[in-house]
Protein backbone atom coordinates (compact mmCIF):
# COMPACT_ATOMS: atom_id res chain seq x y z
CA UNK A 1 0.00 0.00 0.00
CA UNK A 2 1.28 3.44 -0.84
CA UNK A 3 2.93 5.33 2.00
CA UNK A 4 0.58 8.27 1.39
CA UNK A 5 -2.30 6.16 2.74
CA UNK A 6 -0.45 5.06 5.85
CA UNK A 7 0.00 7.10 8.96
CA UNK A 8 2.20 7.22 12.03
CA UNK A 9 0.70 7.82 15.47
CA UNK A 10 1.98 11.16 16.71
CA UNK A 11 2.49 12.21 20.30
CA UNK A 12 2.02 8.82 22.05
CA UNK A 13 0.99 9.21 25.69
CA UNK A 14 1.02 5.71 27.23
CA UNK A 15 2.65 2.32 26.83
CA UNK A 16 0.11 1.06 24.28
CA UNK A 17 0.38 4.19 22.17
CA UNK A 18 4.17 3.98 22.27
CA UNK A 19 3.90 0.41 21.02
CA UNK A 20 1.55 1.56 18.25
CA UNK A 21 4.08 4.20 17.24
CA UNK A 22 6.92 1.65 17.14
CA UNK A 23 4.83 -0.72 14.98
CA UNK A 24 3.85 2.04 12.55
CA UNK A 25 3.08 3.22 10.02
CA UNK A 26 -0.48 1.88 9.99
CA UNK A 27 -3.00 1.46 7.19
CA UNK A 28 -5.78 0.06 9.39
CA UNK A 29 -7.19 2.32 12.07
CA UNK A 30 -7.92 -0.36 14.67
CA UNK A 31 -10.22 0.52 17.54
CA UNK A 32 -8.56 -0.81 20.69
CA UNK A 33 -9.90 -0.96 24.25
CA UNK A 34 -9.89 2.35 26.10
CA UNK A 35 -10.70 4.36 23.00
CA UNK A 36 -7.18 4.01 21.62
CA UNK A 37 -6.83 3.96 17.82
CA UNK A 38 -3.87 2.96 15.73
CA UNK A 39 -4.33 5.54 12.95
CA UNK A 40 -6.56 8.35 14.23
CA UNK A 41 -5.17 10.75 11.60
CA UNK A 42 -5.72 8.41 8.65
CA UNK A 43 -5.97 10.38 5.38
CA UNK A 44 -9.10 8.38 4.40
CA UNK A 45 -10.80 8.99 7.73
CA UNK A 46 -11.85 6.12 9.97
CA UNK A 47 -10.57 3.42 7.64
CA UNK A 48 -11.60 0.67 7.20
CA UNK A 49 -14.41 1.10 9.74
CA UNK A 50 -16.54 3.03 7.24
CA UNK A 51 -16.22 0.17 4.75
CA UNK A 52 -17.15 -2.37 7.42
CA UNK A 53 -20.32 -0.39 8.15
CA UNK A 54 -21.24 -0.84 4.48
CA UNK A 55 -20.90 -4.63 4.49
CA UNK A 56 -21.76 -5.48 8.10
CA UNK A 57 -25.54 -5.58 7.62
CA UNK A 58 -25.19 -7.95 4.64
CA UNK A 59 -23.49 -10.62 6.75
CA UNK A 60 -25.07 -12.77 9.47
CA UNK A 61 -24.87 -11.07 12.86
CA UNK A 62 -24.08 -14.44 14.43
CA UNK A 63 -21.22 -16.28 12.75
CA UNK A 64 -20.82 -18.90 15.45
CA UNK A 65 -19.64 -22.13 13.88
CA UNK A 66 -18.51 -20.36 10.70
CA UNK A 67 -14.97 -20.44 9.39
CA UNK A 68 -13.77 -17.26 7.70
CA UNK A 69 -10.81 -16.27 5.55
CA UNK A 70 -9.60 -12.68 5.35
CA UNK A 71 -7.35 -12.40 2.27
CA UNK A 72 -4.90 -9.53 2.45
CA UNK A 73 -5.82 -9.01 6.09
CA UNK A 74 -3.37 -6.16 6.75
CA UNK A 75 -3.51 -5.31 10.48
CA UNK A 76 -6.63 -7.42 10.96
CA UNK A 77 -9.54 -4.99 11.25
CA UNK A 78 -11.99 -7.19 9.33
CA UNK A 79 -10.65 -10.36 10.96
CA UNK A 80 -11.37 -8.99 14.41
CA UNK A 81 -14.86 -7.87 13.40
CA UNK A 82 -15.70 -11.35 12.07
CA UNK A 83 -14.31 -12.92 15.23
CA UNK A 84 -16.48 -10.57 17.28
CA UNK A 85 -19.48 -12.17 15.58
CA UNK A 86 -18.29 -15.62 16.56
CA UNK A 87 -16.38 -16.80 13.49
CA UNK A 88 -13.09 -18.67 13.60
CA UNK A 89 -10.92 -16.55 11.33
CA UNK A 90 -7.73 -17.04 9.34
CA UNK A 91 -6.11 -13.84 8.15
CA UNK A 92 -3.45 -14.03 5.47
CA UNK A 93 -1.07 -11.40 4.15
CA UNK A 94 2.31 -11.32 2.45
CA UNK A 95 3.58 -8.26 4.31
CA UNK A 96 5.21 -9.16 7.61
CA UNK A 97 4.99 -5.53 8.72
CA UNK A 98 1.20 -5.71 8.76
CA UNK A 99 1.19 -9.18 10.28
CA UNK A 100 3.30 -7.95 13.21
CA UNK A 101 0.67 -5.28 13.80
CA UNK A 102 -2.16 -7.83 13.58
CA UNK A 103 -0.51 -10.33 15.92
CA UNK A 104 0.20 -7.63 18.48
CA UNK A 105 -3.38 -6.31 18.24
CA UNK A 106 -4.73 -9.83 18.74
CA UNK A 107 -3.25 -9.70 22.25
CA UNK A 108 -5.10 -6.46 22.97
CA UNK A 109 -8.58 -6.94 21.50
CA UNK A 110 -11.04 -9.16 23.33
CA UNK A 111 -11.49 -11.78 20.61
CA UNK A 112 -7.97 -12.14 19.23
CA UNK A 113 -7.81 -15.77 20.31
CA UNK A 114 -10.33 -16.59 17.55
CA UNK A 115 -7.99 -15.34 14.80
CA UNK A 116 -4.85 -16.87 13.29
CA UNK A 117 -2.59 -14.70 11.15
CA UNK A 118 -0.45 -16.45 8.55
CA UNK A 119 2.11 -15.11 6.10
CA UNK A 120 1.07 -16.37 2.68
CA UNK A 121 -0.22 -15.14 -0.67
CA UNK A 122 -3.60 -15.72 -2.26
CA UNK A 123 -1.87 -18.05 -4.72
CA UNK A 124 -0.64 -20.26 -1.86
CA UNK A 125 -4.27 -21.18 -1.21
CA UNK A 126 -4.08 -23.44 -4.25
CA UNK A 127 -1.98 -25.86 -2.21
CA UNK A 128 -4.45 -26.01 0.67
CA UNK A 129 -7.50 -28.24 0.97
CA UNK A 130 -9.20 -25.87 3.44
CA UNK A 131 -12.56 -24.34 2.58
CA UNK A 132 -14.27 -21.50 4.40
CA UNK A 133 -17.88 -20.53 4.99
CA UNK A 134 -17.07 -16.87 4.42
CA UNK A 135 -14.24 -15.25 2.47
CA UNK A 136 -13.36 -11.56 2.43
CA UNK A 137 -11.42 -10.53 -0.67
CA UNK A 138 -11.19 -6.80 -0.04
CA UNK A 139 -8.84 -4.35 -1.71
CA UNK A 140 -6.42 -6.86 -3.20
CA UNK A 141 -7.67 -7.85 -6.67
CA UNK A 142 -6.24 -4.77 -8.42
CA UNK A 143 -2.84 -5.20 -6.75
CA UNK A 144 -2.33 -8.65 -8.32
CA UNK A 145 -0.47 -9.33 -11.54
CA UNK A 146 -2.63 -12.44 -12.07
CA UNK A 147 -6.04 -11.47 -10.66
CA UNK A 148 -8.21 -14.03 -12.48
CA UNK A 149 -5.87 -16.79 -11.41
CA UNK A 150 -6.45 -15.68 -7.83
CA UNK A 151 -10.24 -15.70 -8.26
CA UNK A 152 -10.17 -19.15 -9.84
CA UNK A 153 -8.28 -20.40 -6.79
CA UNK A 154 -10.65 -18.67 -4.37
CA UNK A 155 -13.70 -20.09 -6.11
CA UNK A 156 -12.69 -23.50 -4.78
CA UNK A 157 -12.46 -22.19 -1.22
CA UNK A 158 -15.84 -20.52 -0.61
CA UNK A 159 -18.64 -22.61 0.89
CA UNK A 160 -21.27 -19.93 1.53
CA UNK A 161 -20.41 -16.28 0.91
CA UNK A 162 -17.67 -14.02 -0.42
CA UNK A 163 -17.39 -10.25 -0.07
CA UNK A 164 -15.41 -8.83 -2.98
CA UNK A 165 -14.11 -5.27 -3.25
CA UNK A 166 -11.85 -3.76 -5.87
CA UNK A 167 -10.73 -0.44 -7.26
CA UNK A 168 -12.78 0.29 -10.38
CA UNK A 169 -12.76 2.72 -13.27
CA UNK A 170 -15.80 4.90 -14.01
CA UNK A 171 -18.72 3.32 -15.80
CA UNK A 172 -22.03 1.95 -14.56
CA UNK A 173 -23.52 0.68 -17.83
CA UNK A 174 -23.92 -3.06 -18.31
CA UNK A 175 -24.71 -4.85 -21.56
CA UNK A 176 -25.54 -8.47 -22.22
CA UNK A 177 -22.95 -9.54 -24.83
CA UNK A 178 -23.77 -11.97 -27.58
CA UNK A 179 -23.20 -15.63 -26.83
CA UNK A 180 -20.63 -15.72 -29.62
CA UNK A 181 -19.22 -12.40 -30.80
CA UNK A 182 -18.14 -12.52 -34.47
CA UNK A 183 -14.44 -11.75 -34.88
CA UNK A 184 -15.22 -9.00 -37.38
CA UNK A 185 -17.54 -7.27 -34.92
CA UNK A 186 -14.96 -6.37 -32.30
CA UNK A 187 -15.99 -2.72 -32.33
CA UNK A 188 -18.80 -3.94 -30.07
CA UNK A 189 -16.18 -4.07 -27.32
CA UNK A 190 -15.99 -0.27 -27.43
CA UNK A 191 -19.59 0.04 -26.20
CA UNK A 192 -19.79 1.72 -22.81
CA UNK A 193 -21.34 -1.28 -21.12
CA UNK A 194 -18.88 -3.85 -22.44
CA UNK A 195 -16.84 -5.48 -19.64
CA UNK A 196 -13.46 -3.72 -19.61
CA UNK A 197 -10.43 -3.75 -17.35
CA UNK A 198 -7.85 -0.97 -17.68
CA UNK A 199 -4.21 -1.93 -17.26
CA UNK A 200 -2.05 0.53 -15.29
CA UNK A 201 1.49 0.19 -16.60
CA UNK A 202 3.08 2.81 -14.38
CA UNK A 203 1.59 4.09 -11.12
CA UNK A 204 -1.78 5.13 -9.69
CA UNK A 205 -2.02 7.19 -6.50
CA UNK A 206 1.71 6.74 -6.00
CA UNK A 207 1.39 2.96 -5.79
CA UNK A 208 3.15 0.91 -8.48
CA UNK A 209 1.23 -2.22 -7.44
CA UNK A 210 -2.07 -0.78 -8.66
CA UNK A 211 -2.22 -2.85 -11.86
CA UNK A 212 -5.92 -3.07 -12.85
CA UNK A 213 -9.11 -1.04 -12.82
CA UNK A 214 -12.18 -2.93 -14.12
CA UNK A 215 -15.50 -1.24 -14.77
CA UNK A 216 -18.66 -2.41 -13.01
CA UNK A 217 -19.66 -4.56 -15.97
CA UNK A 218 -16.27 -6.29 -15.93
CA UNK A 219 -16.42 -6.96 -12.19
CA UNK A 220 -19.71 -8.82 -12.47
CA UNK A 221 -18.60 -10.69 -15.60
CA UNK A 222 -15.28 -11.70 -14.05
CA UNK A 223 -16.98 -12.94 -10.89
CA UNK A 224 -19.46 -15.01 -12.91
CA UNK A 225 -16.71 -16.50 -15.05
CA UNK A 226 -14.80 -17.44 -11.90
CA UNK A 227 -17.72 -19.45 -10.57
CA UNK A 228 -19.60 -16.93 -8.43
CA UNK A 229 -23.16 -15.64 -8.45
CA UNK A 230 -23.39 -11.94 -7.58
CA UNK A 231 -26.13 -11.59 -4.97
CA UNK A 232 -25.94 -7.86 -4.50
CA UNK A 233 -23.83 -4.78 -4.94
CA UNK A 234 -23.80 -3.79 -1.30
CA UNK A 235 -21.70 -0.64 -1.58
CA UNK A 236 -19.41 1.35 -3.82
CA UNK A 237 -17.10 -1.21 -5.47
CA UNK A 238 -18.30 -3.93 -3.04
CA UNK A 239 -20.11 -7.12 -4.09
CA UNK A 240 -21.69 -9.96 -2.13
CA UNK A 241 -21.33 -13.31 -3.88
CA UNK A 242 -22.05 -16.98 -3.43
CA UNK A 243 -20.45 -19.92 -5.27
CA UNK A 244 -22.20 -21.45 -8.26
CA UNK A 245 -23.17 -25.08 -7.75
CA UNK A 246 -21.67 -25.71 -11.19
CA UNK A 247 -19.35 -23.78 -13.44
CA UNK A 248 -21.64 -21.53 -15.53
CA UNK A 249 -19.68 -22.16 -18.72
CA UNK A 250 -18.67 -25.73 -17.97
CA UNK A 251 -15.02 -24.70 -17.82
CA UNK A 252 -14.12 -26.48 -14.59
CA UNK A 253 -11.93 -29.04 -16.35
CA UNK A 254 -10.03 -26.34 -18.25
CA UNK A 255 -9.46 -24.37 -15.04
CA UNK A 256 -8.37 -27.50 -13.20
CA UNK A 257 -5.80 -28.31 -15.86
CA UNK A 258 -4.47 -24.76 -15.96
CA UNK A 259 -4.18 -24.59 -12.18
CA UNK A 260 -2.49 -27.97 -12.09
CA UNK A 261 0.10 -26.70 -14.58
CA UNK A 262 1.03 -23.92 -12.16
CA UNK A 263 0.44 -25.45 -8.75
CA UNK A 264 0.04 -29.16 -9.40
CA UNK A 265 0.99 -31.71 -6.81
CA UNK A 266 2.47 -35.05 -7.79
CA UNK A 267 -0.95 -36.34 -8.80
CA UNK A 268 -1.59 -33.21 -10.89
CA UNK A 269 -4.33 -31.93 -8.57
CA UNK A 270 -3.71 -28.41 -7.20
CA UNK A 271 -6.39 -28.96 -4.54
CA UNK A 272 -5.43 -32.00 -2.45
CA UNK A 273 -8.29 -34.31 -1.44
CA UNK A 274 -11.17 -32.38 -2.98
CA UNK A 275 -10.10 -30.78 -6.23
CA UNK A 276 -11.57 -27.69 -7.87
Instruction: Give the per-residue pLDDT at 249.
Output: 53
Average confidence (pLDDT) over 246-262:
68
Instruction: Give the per-residue pLDDT at 245.
Output: 65
Instruction: Give the per-residue pLDDT at 112.
Output: 83
Strands 132-138, 158-165: parallel, antiparallel or unpaired by DSSP? parallel
Average confidence (pLDDT) over 62-77:
98
In tens, the pLDDT along 78-116 reads 999 999 999 999 999 999 999 999 999 999 998 889 999
Residue 158 has pLDDT above 50, yes or no: yes
Residue 221 has pLDDT above 90, yes or no: yes
3 state DSSP class of 193: coil
In tens, the pLDDT along 127-146 reads 999 999 999 999 999 999 99
Average confidence (pLDDT) over 211-218:
97
Percentage of the residues of the chain whose pLDDT score is greater than 70: 90
The beta-strand segments (E) located in the chain are 31-32, 36-37, 67-71, 88-93, 115-119, 132-138, 158-165, 197-199, 212-214, 228-235, 238-243
How would residue 2 be classed by pLDDT, with cut points 50, 70 and 90? very low
Q: Which long-range contacts (CB under 8 A, 24 or more apart) does 227-232 make?
A: 227/152, 227/155, 227/252, 228/151, 228/155, 228/158, 228/162, 228/164, 232/58
Mean predicted lDDT score pLDDT of the chain: 91
Residue 252 has pLDDT above 70, yes or no: no
Instruction: Give the per-residue pLDDT at 26.
Output: 97
Residue 155 has pLDDT above 80, yes or no: yes
Q: List all residues 6 or more positions away from 79 whose beta carbon is below 8 Å from its beta carbon.
A: 68, 70, 73, 89, 91, 102, 115, 117
Instruction: Give the per-residue pLDDT at 244.
Output: 86
Nearest to 212 by CA among 160, 109, 140, 152: 140
Amino acid sequence: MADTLETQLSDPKNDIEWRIARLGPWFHNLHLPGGIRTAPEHPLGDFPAFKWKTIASSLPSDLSGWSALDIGCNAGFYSFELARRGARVTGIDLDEHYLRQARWASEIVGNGDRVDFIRMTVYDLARSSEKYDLVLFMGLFYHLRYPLLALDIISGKVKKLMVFQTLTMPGEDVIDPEENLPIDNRERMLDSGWPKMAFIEKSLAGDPTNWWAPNHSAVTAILRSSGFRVLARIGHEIYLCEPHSTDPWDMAELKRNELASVFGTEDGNPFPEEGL
